Amino acid sequence: MKTIYLTLGLLLLFNIDISAQHRGNYNEITQDISRQNILSSGNAKIYNPTVQQQVTKILYPSNVLTVDVKALQNAGATTYTAIFNVSQMGPSAEITNQLMKERIDSIKYRLNAKGITQKNIAIDVISFIPIYEVEVTKKLFSKTYTEVPKGFELQQNVHIQFTKTNQFESILEACAQSEVYNLVKVDYYIENIQDVYKNLQDELLKLIEEKKAYYKVLGFNMSDYNVAIADDKYCYFPKDFYQSYQAYNSTSVEALEKKKGVTTVKKQTSYYYQPLTYENYDVVINPSILEPVVQIGINIKLVFTPKPKEQKPTPIVETKIDHKYYVISPNGTIDVKELNTK
């Protein structure tokens, strides 16, 4: 029986290991970095049948018609701009500036050999300040601490523009060889963003016409409704959609068995790109992406309310009554007379 239990235990551990490998290293508890524009938390749970049943909505019939459509397009950047921060210190202003110039020229020379020319590089001076140290002056009964300039610090940002993502590796290599390691950020730019918005609008207009035709088939005459509209457009960049996670950390079972102290090691924080998911969108253009992209979207909402029925005025009918009086004389004759009541 012990052998059977051992075998089952090994099988159980084996299954758990396979599940972990398919899942990856990140867990569900993540720390947000910059998520101001997130519409939803992810699309993993949409495939869970239990969750799918929980989110089933109860429909309430109404004579107010709503057309709410959303479109999203994943657009690759036309150009990219990588920004590196360079800090240089020196004993004098002239030497500091000369050392900085040598490092910048080294970057330009290495990039030019890789096809990135001078016109794709710009220098942004951030600060140029003196560095002070405290000088101690000893007197008979006291000490004096005086700040005196001992050098200068010059900071500049190097802006490097490129058009293909595979060029970024060459840029990192050129900067590293020039002892520049501080990558500030990478910006994405799209030249034809108006064309992207126009494409999304055309797709949504087609979808709106299809939904109006659908309501017409159901028996609704759209000419009998007043319409109200609200629309919105947005553009999200990859820098806003990175999340962090830490790899699964385990404790040594062998150390526990030998009753030794366990020293935990701080796990490295990793990051992954989590773009907008598609479950809330009616139209998605370029849905399959390999690298971070610019996500551009448009939302349009139409609300159709029945027009108030015209109330016809009630005709006024005048009733005229003619008053007549009968006078009977003593001899039995009847005389008809009209009495003026005005």
State residue 30's pLDDT score: 43
Nearest CA to 32 out of 240, 236, 188 is that of 240
Q: Highest mean pLDDT range out of 28-32, 144-148, 302-306, 329-333?
A: 302-306
φ/ψ of 220, rounded to 5, equals -100, 130
Architecture of domain 79-189: 2-Layer Sandwich (3.30)
pLDDT in tens, 84-126: 999 999 988 899 999 999 999 999 999 998 889 889 999 999 9
Q: What is the pLDDT of residue 131?
A: 81
Q: 198 pLDDT band (50/70/90 cuts)?
A: very high
pLDDT tens for 213-246 read 999 999 888 888 999 999 999 999 988 888 888 7
pLDDT in tens, 153-176: 999 999 999 998 889 999 999 999
* Residues 337, 327 contacting (CB under 8 angstroms): yes
Q: What is the DSSP string of 57-126?
A: PPP---S-EEEEEEEEEEE--SEEEEEEEEEEEESSHHHHHHHHHHHHHHHHHHHHHTT--GGGEEEEEE
The more confident residue out of 69 and 263 is: 69
pLDDT at 10 over 80: no
- Tokens encoding 76: 């690759």
Average pLDDT over residues 304-333: 75
- Is residue 82's pLDDT more than 70? yes
More reliable by pLDDT, 34 or 211:
211
Give the domain ranges of the chain. Answer: 2-76+224-306, 79-189
Band of pLDDT at residue 310, cut at 50, 70 and 90: confident
Predicted local distance difference test score (pLDDT) of residue 271 = 84
